[in-house]
Structure 1
Amino acid sequence: MTHTAGVPNYTAFPKFFEEDSRNPYTPEEFTEKFQDMELEFTPGEMFNYSNSGYFLLGFLVEKISGKTYEEMLEEKIFLPLGMKESGFDHHSAILKNRATGYEKNGNEFINSPYLDMSIPYAAGSLYSTVEDLYLWDQALYTNKLLSQKYMDMYFKPFIPAFGSFHYAYGWMVGNEAIGNTTDSIAVISHGGGINGFNTQISRSLSDKSLIVLLNNTGGAPLGQITQSILGIINNKSYNHLKAPLASKLLKVIETKGIDEGVAYFKKNKDNKDFDVNENDMNNAGYQLLGSDKTKEAIQVFKLNVGAYPKSSNAYDSYAEALMISGDNKGAIENYTKAVELNPGNQNAIDMLTKLGVDTSNLTKEFEVPGALLESYVGVYELMPTFKITIIKEGNQLKAQATGQPIMDILAKSNDTFYIKEVGAQIQFINDENGNIGSLTLFQNGQEMNGKKVE
């Protein structure tokens, strides 16, 4: 329950979504997918979110009780609490007012990819409503579900997870920022995500307030919304969510043409009413590319590179569009830039190889002296609720950001490192005394500075 067992997370397996996620499995059959894999670390040593661990817990419930996981949920939780609109999801069942999951595709929404509910199982195959989750929340202030001994254990911080947050038994326990202030409040919270949906629950024990956000359009910024709601209910200032400029840009291109679109973007890219987001711009470019509007897509990708000149992914996408148009010289130039920014960008490396480019000089490993690596170890606060912890194992630096698993960071130079899995870079910065005082995180076109606090 604490994600400290080291069981490999099946949703992170290569080609999991392409090859396994649509097929039905029994719990025993699916457990065979990871039962013989080596543990990622010695149990109890560290935290790493694992859906596999929760899958195993559901299977254990069935083995010990002699009943299905679904039956145990109904018997022990849903029926006693009167949660009539909650249950284990079955694709074949007809549910009144069932929400369908969607994903954003440019200015449009599309159906999310199918996921057989036998796959998430005890790690996420439930449906519910805000009202039912409120019934559950209120029961957690009583002993209706667990004795006080186990209720205390349920919420007790078990291990540092990321930044100021600790992980308990299925809960994050820590301090959440309030609105756009530097104030924070103690909360017990958790987020979730599955094809076409994302969710957030935040419990404030000081006043027993509850924030539940259930979204069926994929990756909505529920963390930001939660912070704003906390600002409102605590009489603090808060941030309004901004309209994505990429969506407006697409409409202008579709109705007035690419030249008007480029002019519109340049006029509004610094407008505080709009959110200029690298991923939104990238998606807009790919929507145009998928509609055979290659010329328009190239211009959108070019705008994205201009807005996010330190993003490997932005150059990668621009290069792809240029290659499709037949401009191999431009494609090579931009794929090369993508690898220079992130030597872990395997797609760019593969495309350069396909275009006949020798990439050996671009991908060679850089060795950093051990003493210098040691100086980078510590905790860096980028926001009150977002920190990056740097640890050193042997000659390998590892980073763990709030809400994310531990990842290797690989050296590009003495002070700059990259993370293959998420396309991010970290640069360590000296203070006025020559000591490491902060870092800068480059990710998704954003630059975030974090002071070393531990």
Structure 2
Amino acid sequence: MKNFFRPAAACTRLLFLGLLATTAPLHAQTAAVPTTATASASTAQQLDAFIKQYEKAGLFQGSVLVADHGQVLLQKGYGLANREKKVANTPETKFRIGSLTKQFTAALVLQLVEKGLLRLDGNVSDYLPNYPQPAGRQITLHHLLSHTAGLPDYTALPQFATEVMRTPQTPTQLVALFSALPLEYTPGAQFRYSNSGYVLLGAIIENVTGKPYAQVFQEQIARPLKLKNTAYDTLEPADKRRAAGYSATASGLVNTPPIAMSVPYAAGAITSTVQDLYRWSQALDGGEVLSEASKKLLFTPVKENYAYGWMSFTAKMGPESVLGQEHNGGINGFGSYLVRVPASQQVIVLLDNHSGGKNLADLRRGLLRVLHGQAPAAPVALNAAMLTSYVGVYELTPAFRITVRQREGKIFVQATGQSEFETEATSPVLFALKGVPAQVEFAKNDKGEVVQLILHQGGHAQPAAKVE
């Protein structure tokens, strides 16, 4: 953990320093114990009420499924799937799920390993002989699955938004976008999320099976598991149950610019429903997808809690620590989250068609708290104009400034000579630094203009005037 220290009289710098690890008696009459059915109904009402707070605040529209101990407590749609046609979201509404696609791709690879068609220690050149060297011999399937290959992310390339995103691409064309670029680090040395790795996995799946990725997915996963509303996405034929994606702007929600769905490919091109994703989670637990050995590989972290298309997490819920698996996704107006807590057979599925799901992490956290008898934090409504007003440079001393930036609906702060930290809103004007015991608060003048940042840390408040 890092610490965020206030400026002292003798030192006007903020330093981020690593911390060193140095029975009740029974009574004749007792309150009635709720039955399982009553308790479940109460929990379902709490879940629904919490989600409605997000809906009312304009922070969520989509579909939700929540299960506890193998029982579905809630499956419901919120808001509109299509605002122009006034079509409501339902549990049957189809959403683009973005990077949740990766867990399907990872499962396909492990199935092919079980069949002897692939090896996890096999390198890219074993399956794509024309891949440039020496990277083709250095990168293994294990590296690709765990985001440890060192590949540049093709979605972060300068030309992606202008030349690639809306133009249909073949797998070969996608691979050509990054295959000749230098690796960012030695394969296996570190974790860095890169969509390029899963594009390569898709191309490898096609090469060893001799079939398109979409067909392999249908034959090996969707059809056997009866995932009737899950498929590789195409724009045709039109489906009335398909949600449209929207982005929040200062003037309201607008249709998100389109993306050619061959571009996300095996890294993000699947569409699904909350019901199908719950069925998928059950199938993983029931041994219908992979052997126990392969399932262990799917969920065992390699670096930084990332396994193969899944991340592990530990969440403190009152006196207990909850261990689970999850992944999220975001793609052009859509967001997704799939959370599993195997010990209590809890599953949370969130599918959103509103601003790429930027608020789903907080919503997921609150729902998990409800399941574990904890009070969830109320949502904080923030609009684009409000966040923009906070952007600037704030001066504590002439030699020490805090720069505030906004990206994708989030506020980031960076002190002079130090790393940038993401924040989490705890009120419309107060933001907690993630991983650091400090908060920044924004203050306005009588005209409503943001003129000051106040740094809260260690019981002290340090004002900083806005200078830029």
The alpha-carbon distance between structure 1 residues 241 and 8, as it changes in their structure 2 partners (threshold 3 A), is same
Aligned structure 1 segments of 4 or more residues deviating by more than 6 angstroms: 441-450
CA distance in structure 1 between the aligned counterparts of 2:420 and 2:199, rounded to whole angstroms: 32
The alpha-carbon distance between structure 1 residues 114 and 448, as it changes in their structure 2 partners (threshold 3 A), is farther
CA distance in structure 1 between the aligned counterparts of 2:339 and 2:457, rounded to whole angstroms: 26
* Structure 1: runs of 5 or more not aligned: 161-165, 245-276, 283-300, 316-333, 346-408, 425-436
CA distance in structure 1 between the aligned counterparts of 2:319 and 2:163, rounded to whole angstroms: 45
Residue of 224, 247, 256 corresponding to 2:362: 224
CA distance in structure 2 between the aligned counterparts of 1:447 and 1:212, rounded to whole angstroms: 36
Deviations 1:3-33 (A, max 9, x none): 0001101111124112210101111012111
Kept in 2, the 8 Å contact 1:201–1:211? The answer is yes
* Residue of structure 2 equivalent to 1:104: 248
CA distance in structure 2 between the aligned counterparts of 1:88 and 1:133, rounded to whole angstroms: 14
For 1:281, the aligned partner's letter is: M
CA distance in structure 2 between the aligned counterparts of 1:446 and 1:92, rounded to whole angstroms: 53
The alpha-carbon distance between structure 1 residues 443 and 17, as it changes in their structure 2 partners (threshold 3 A), is farther
The alpha-carbon distance between structure 1 residues 410 and 224, as it changes in their structure 2 partners (threshold 3 A), is closer
The alpha-carbon distance between structure 1 residues 39 and 410, as it changes in their structure 2 partners (threshold 3 A), is farther
When you count helix as a share of all residues, which structure comes out higher?
A: 1
The alpha-carbon deviation at position 142 of structure 1 amounts to: 2.2
- Give 1:175-194 correspondences, 5 Å limit: 175-178=314-317, 184-194=321-331
* Residue of structure 2 equivalent to 1:266: none
Paired residue total? 284
Deviations 1:375-430 (A, max 9, x none): xxxxxxxxxxxxxxxxxxxxxxxxxxxxxxxxxx99934xx4458xx899xxxxxx
CA distance in structure 1 between the aligned counterparts of 2:275 and 2:454, rounded to whole angstroms: 37
Deviations 1:345-387 (A, max 9, x none): 9xxxxxxxxxxxxxxxxxxxxxxxxxxxxxxxxxxxxxxxxxx
* Residue of structure 1 equivalent to 2:392: 312
In the alignment, structure 1 residue 173 sits paired with structure 2 residue 177: no
- Give 1:16-415 correspondences, 5 Å limit: 16-160=160-304, 166-178=305-317, 184-218=321-355, 219-242=357-380, 244=381, 277=382, 279-282=384-387, 304=389, 308=390, 311-312=391-392, 341-342=402-403, 412-413=416-417
CA distance in structure 1 between the aligned counterparts of 2:216 and 2:240, rounded to whole angstroms: 23
Kept in 2, the 8 Å contact 1:102–1:196? The answer is yes
The alpha-carbon deviation at position 176 of structure 1 amounts to: 2.7
The alpha-carbon deviation at position 92 of structure 1 amounts to: 2.8
TM-score (norm 1): 0.56
TM-score (norm 2): 0.55
For 2:331, the aligned partner's letter is: I
Q: Which has the higher contact order (CA 8 A, sep 6+)?
A: 2
The alpha-carbon deviation at position 207 of structure 1 amounts to: 1.2
The alpha-carbon deviation at position 124 of structure 1 amounts to: 0.5
The alpha-carbon distance between structure 1 residues 447 and 119, as it changes in their structure 2 partners (threshold 3 A), is farther
The alpha-carbon distance between structure 1 residues 446 and 72, as it changes in their structure 2 partners (threshold 3 A), is farther
The alpha-carbon deviation at position 439 of structure 1 amounts to: 6.9
The alpha-carbon deviation at position 343 of structure 1 amounts to: 11
Partner secondary structure for residue 32 of structure 1: helix
Kept in 2, the 8 Å contact 1:344–1:418? The answer is no
For 2:277, the aligned partner's letter is: L
Percent of matched pairs sharing the same residue = 35
Kept in 2, the 8 Å contact 1:87–1:127? The answer is yes
CA distance in structure 2 between the aligned counterparts of 1:199 and 1:88, rounded to whole angstroms: 16
Kept in 2, the 8 Å contact 1:312–1:423? The answer is no
